[in-house]
Chain A
Amino acid sequence: MRSLCFAFQVYLAFAKKSFQRRMQYRVANLAGLTTNFFFLLVHIFVYTAFYAARPAPQPLSLDEIITYFVLCQVSFMLMPFWGTRSEVTSAIKDGSVALQLTKPVDFQAYWFADECGRALYYLLMRGLPTFLISLLFFKVTIPQQPTVFMAFTVSMILAVFMSNAITITIFSSGFWTLDTTGISGMSYSIITLFSGMLVPIALWPEWLAHIARWLPFEGLIDIPFSIYLGKITGIAVWIAIGKQMVWNLFFIGLGRLFLTRGFSRLVIQGG
């Protein structure tokens, strides 16, 4: 028990360092906030015009769409494929992974700790300000029941976890291919498409939405946001969260497998 407690403290320290490292770039953060707002604004213009052309009832109302994209701008930075690249991702390519291996910590857990610090930073410095300012300018809906909000929070945490589990899996393929730009680019497109980041899955045609439901990526964006908007209710919330958990375990396991296999055949590049 004591050693477990100690291990937790070690990873907490990593997360804290990762958070502090990012606190250095305050002007860059302000620029990033502006960028987030710009994209949010264009999204809102586009959807407003689409809805104006066809006011017939849609699966999501315009206000709900706006809320969806506000949430998108709040949370996408927390996930490594859409946010800024962290140092860990290049560790395998530039050989600095060797240094990590000399430390008596688990590499995957270290990676998670580092990303948690990053995610917390973006939540506090980027996400929450974006949300609060959006409340002033746009019609953002807020869930009435506290239980909805709780379910959303749990689902969102699982989403951020899964995004990291997926990223680790993708980048540990670098042990075999060295250059991961191709594979990460391909997976980026698939993830961006099937997460519902560009267009909410509710607006998709049936056949494509059906494919999305069988893939893990809706757990990154669409599931948490649908819970927030009250589109998933009752028992379905538990099923959705359960789905996220299963996919989390899957990717953590796969990433672990890749890492152990990779380390056993590791040849350090550069130095």
Chain B
Amino acid sequence: MHHLSLYFHFVKLRIRSQMEYRLSFIFDVCAQASISVIDFFMIALLFNRFKELAGWSLWEVGFLYGMIGICFAVAEMVGRGFDVFQRNIVRGDFDTVLIRPLGTFFQVFAHEFLLRRLGRIVQALVVFLIANSQLTVAWSLTKVGYLFISLVGGTCFFVGLFVIGATSCFWTVQSIEIINIFTNGGVFMGSYPFSIYRWWFRHFFTFIVPLACVNYFPSLFLLEKIGASGVSAIGVHLAPFAGFLFLGITVLFWRWGVLHYQSTGF
């Protein structure tokens, strides 16, 4: 409970400092939104020409796109501390984290909060809502609950990726750029139905990096496409929890990484 109130206190401070440069903030939010708007616009252009993709319509893909976009943007907003963690290591700032009477994971997590991702969240949400209005999804309490769990699971998944990237800095100092494949690349490939990928690609992004579990499988359930896809129904129901599991494992990795920390400080 103490952690929670402390967290909100930190977030409030972060937001206040970011609102200092108001005009720059507004520009930035608009720029963020415009970048993602053209992303989806391009998908729409392709559908305009090709009409469908592996049995998925434009708005079904918009549903996928909206879900993954929301998860990623929220993860960037709250998980920013891990995203930019390498500079703490480069500057030796992590030493200060270690001497404070709080867990390292919590401190790094609560240290940053990127309000300007709001533009991205709103854009993804708008696409999701339009897609939903164009489709006839039979919403029930179960489905809404399942959607919520999937979104939180997806956010956990991306935060987990940031944690892996941050933890690797304990060894490499500079962050490993390859994690971009899974973060930005994950959003890109998650915007399309997984059935278009080759089997080895699909399996990798289901069992090792569980991207499909928080996006594609939940959409199959919500859009009632399980039957057509040939995926097991039980697997689909359990899939979103893979996001939580993934984050849990990365937290353990983080704890192990902290033990290997050697200061680079001045």
Contact across chains for A181 and B53 when beta carbons are under 8 A apart: no
Contacts of B196 in A (CB 8 A): 45-46, 48-49
Contacts of A42 in B (CB 8 A): 185, 188-189, 197
Contact across chains for B181 and A188 when beta carbons are under 8 A apart: no
- The tally of residues in A whose CB lies under 8 Å from a CB in B reads 36
Residues 164-215 (chain A) with a chain B CB within 8 angstroms: 179, 181-186, 188-189, 192-193, 198-199, 203-205, 208
Tell me if A136 counts as interface (CB < 8 A to partner B): no
* Interface-facing stretch out of B25-33, B87-95, B218-226: B25-33
Contact across chains for B34 and A189 when beta carbons are under 8 A apart: yes
Shortest distance between the CB of B29 and any CB in chain A (Å)? 9
Contacts of A182 in B (CB 8 A): 24, 26-28, 30-31
Tell me if B21 counts as interface (CB < 8 A to partner A): yes
Contact across chains for A35 and B53 when beta carbons are under 8 A apart: no
CA distance A191 to B239 in the complex (A): 38
Contact across chains for B24 and A179 when beta carbons are under 8 A apart: yes
CA distance A28 to B179 in the complex (A): 12
Contact across chains for A50 and B53 when beta carbons are under 8 A apart: yes
Tell me if A99 counts as interface (CB < 8 A to partner B): no
Tell me if B198 counts as interface (CB < 8 A to partner A): yes
Shortest distance between the CB of A45 and any CB in chain B (Å)? 5
Tell me if B54 counts as interface (CB < 8 A to partner A): yes
Shortest distance between the CB of A21 and any CB in chain B (Å)? 15
Contact across chains for B198 and A193 when beta carbons are under 8 A apart: no
Contacts of A185 in B (CB 8 A): 27-28, 30-32, 34-35
The contact size tier of chain B is 35 or more
Residues 21-54 (chain B) with a chain A CB within 8 angstroms: 21, 24, 26-28, 30-32, 34-35, 37-39, 41-42, 45-46, 48-54
Contacts of B26 in A (CB 8 A): 182
Neighbour of B50 across the interface among A54, A189, A192, CB < 8 A? A54
Neighbour of A35 across the interface among B37, B38, B178, CB < 8 A? B178
Contacts of A34 in B (CB 8 A): 178, 181
Q: Contacts A38-B185, A186-B34: A181 and B46 contacting too (C-beta < 8 A)? A: no
Contacts of A203 in B (CB 8 A): 45-46, 49
Residues 155-204 (chain B) with a chain A CB within 8 angstroms: 174, 176-178, 180-181, 185, 188-189, 192, 196-198, 201
Interface string of A36-48 (1 = CB under 8 A from B): 0011011001101
Contact across chains for A208 and B45 when beta carbons are under 8 A apart: yes
CA distance A55 to B172 in the complex (A): 48
Contact across chains for B42 and A199 when beta carbons are under 8 A apart: yes
Contact across chains for B177 and A28 when beta carbons are under 8 A apart: yes
Shortest distance between the CB of B78 and any CB in chain A (Å)? 21
**A188 to B, closest residue via Cβ:** B35
Contact across chains for A205 and B185 when beta carbons are under 8 A apart: no
Shortest distance between the CB of A177 and any CB in chain B (Å)? 8
Q: Contacts A182-B28, A182-B31, A189-B37: A49 and B53 contacting too (C-beta < 8 A)? A: yes
Shortest distance between the CB of A16 and any CB in chain B (Å)? 25
Interface string of B49-62 (1 = CB under 8 A from A): 11111100000000
Contacts of B51 in A (CB 8 A): 53-54
Contact across chains for A50 and B188 when beta carbons are under 8 A apart: no
CA distance A38 to B41 in the complex (A): 22
CA distance A188 to B46 in the complex (A): 21
CA distance A53 to B178 in the complex (A): 33
Tell me if A58 counts as interface (CB < 8 A to partner B): yes
Contacts of B46 in A (CB 8 A): 50, 199, 203
Q: Contacts A35-B177, A189-B35, A199-B42: A45 and B201 contacting too (C-beta < 8 A)? A: yes
Contacts of B45 in A (CB 8 A): 199, 203-205, 208
Contact across chains for A186 and B185 when beta carbons are under 8 A apart: no
Shortest distance between the CB of B195 and any CB in chain A (Å)? 8
CA distance A159 to B77 in the complex (A): 35
Contacts of A205 in B (CB 8 A): 45, 48-49
A-B CB proximity, top 3 nearest? A182-B27, A185-B31, A49-B196
Q: Can you report 20 A-B residue pairs in the complex whose CB atoms are below 8 A from each other?
A: A35-B181, A45-B192, A45-B198, A46-B192, A49-B196, A50-B53, A51-B50, A53-B51, A54-B51, A179-B21, A181-B24, A182-B27, A185-B30, A185-B34, A185-B35, A189-B31, A189-B34, A189-B38, A192-B35, A192-B38
**Further contacts, 17 of them, CB under 8 A, given A45-B198, A188-B31:** A28-B177, A31-B178, A38-B185, A42-B188, A50-B46, A179-B27, A182-B26, A182-B28, A185-B28, A185-B31, A186-B27, A186-B34, A189-B31, A189-B35, A192-B38, A199-B46, A203-B46
A-side residues, CB < 8 A to B, are 28, 31-32, 34-35, 38-39, 41-42, 45-46, 48-54, 58, 179, 181-186, 188-189, 192-193, 198-199, 203-205, 208
